[in-house]
Structures are given as C-alpha cells and as structure tokens.
Amino acid sequence: MISIAPGISYYPGYWNAAEQAALVAELRVVLKLAPLFTPTMPKTGKPFSVRMTNCGMLGWVSDREGYRYQEHHPLTGEPWPSIPLMVREAWEKIADYPHDPEACLINYYGPQAKMGLHQDRDEQDFEAPIVSFSLGDTAIFRIGGTERGGKTTSLKLHSGDALVFGGPARLVYHGIDRILAGTSTLLGREGRVNLTLRRVNKP
Ligand code: MD6
Ligand code: FE
C-alpha cells in the first residue's frame, strides 16, 4: 500500500491476473441482470460519456431530476443484483470500516470517455471511505484538494489497482482525464471498468 496523501491509500496490483479475470466473469453476470445505461446531467440532460450500472442494495443514478441513490435500475425497474462476494471481501480487507457497503457503482469508459473533477457527496455517511477498483485499460486519474480550483496531481490507475479515499480525503475533488486505450486485454475490448463501493446511509 502507498499513501498518496492523508486519507488516500493506493494499492497497485491489488488483484492479480487470475483474480481480475474472475472479477470480470462476476461482472458479466451483474451486467446481464442490470445492463449499462447512459446517465444524464441534472437540469441540462446532457449525456455522460461513461455508461454505468450498479450492484448492491442501492445504486447511484443521475438524470434531469438530479443525482441520487435508488433501489431500482432506472430502465428495468428491477432491484440491483448483489455485490459479488470477492468485492465485499475486498472492502472488508481495505476499507477499515466496520459496516458493509450499500452501493457499488460500475462505470464503463470507452476509449474516449472521461469524468470531470467531482466530489462524491451524495452519501449521508462521510465517515465511511470510498473504495475503488480499476479493470481494463489504464486511466489517468486526477486528484485535487477539498476546494475546487486547488492544485491537482495525476496518477495512472492500472488494471487490478485499488484506491481508498477516506478520512480527510473523503471529499477531495477527483476525476478521470483520459483512458489509455489498448493498454490491457482483460476486457476483450478497449475501455475500462471502475467499481466504487460506498456506504450511503449512516449505520
Ligand atoms: C474512476 N473514480 O476511477 C472514477 N470516486 O473511474 C471515482 O470517481 C472515485 O476512484 C471516489 C473515490 C474513489 C474513486
Ligand atoms: Fe468519484
């Protein structure tokens, strides 16, 4: 583990190649039950460049009405599938938090997708960290401070890496500048999958 800043722990190669392949197989089952959808920006309705879905009791969605967590897939109306066991076990190992995650957001980035600098602040409980896993093509991740417009640094996230944002870093700004297409063969196509595990409600 490498401490990037107070509250930010980076685990390069947290999952080995066999574990990454097993995780992709688990995610293919999740995606059959809860297909990727294209979220849209609040108010403007502009589509995100990433597609997303969720597993867990709650899923994060965005549409013209705003950002929120909800219990059902916005297109199928079905409850979200459960979080794969290996992902829940990884949370137990690295979250340093004594309760289960409620939401696992699954983002899929095609080669052109990116994600603007944002804070993750739609949760009630900022005591819990956010744990993130990267699979597939390498991404350039940007990390700032807790104020918009502050100094930022960048970090390459490779397939199998884990990142934990907690404590003083729970509300830092971060985003994905770009995907380095073709840097991994794991997904059998270009692109990247990111999982972010969150506790939404206070326990
Ligand atoms: C991504 N990650 O890696 C986007 N959020 O594609 C996030 O937005 C994120 O990695 C909160 C904590 C860790 C993260
Ligand atoms: Fe985020």
What span, in angstroms and rounded, lies between the C-alpha atoms of 36 and 160? 21
Mean of per-residue pLDDT scores for the chain: 97
CA 186 to centroid of ligand 2, rounded, Å: 23
- In this structure, whether the domain defined by 2-198 belongs to CATH 2.60.120.590 is answered with yes
* Percent of residues, the chain, with pLDDT higher than 90: 100
Cβ–Cβ under 8 Å, residues 179 and 79: no
pTM, two decimals, is 0.98
Q: How confident is the model at residue 7 (pLDDT cuts 50, 70, 90)?
A: very high
User: Which residue ranges make up each domain of the chain?
Assistant: 2-198
Measure 188 CA to ligand 1 centroid, in angstroms. Answer: 23
Cα of 155 to ligand 1 centre, how many Å?
12
pLDDT digit string, tens, across residues 157-178: 999 999 999 999 999 999 999 9
The pLDDT tens digits for 136-153 are 999 999 999 999 999 999
Q: What ligand 1 atom has the least distance to the C-alpha of 109?
A: 6
**Cβ contacts of 165 within 8 Å, gap of 6 or more:** 7, 8, 120, 129, 130, 132, 172, 174
**pLDDT recorded at residue 178:** 98
Question: Beta partners for 19?
Answer: none
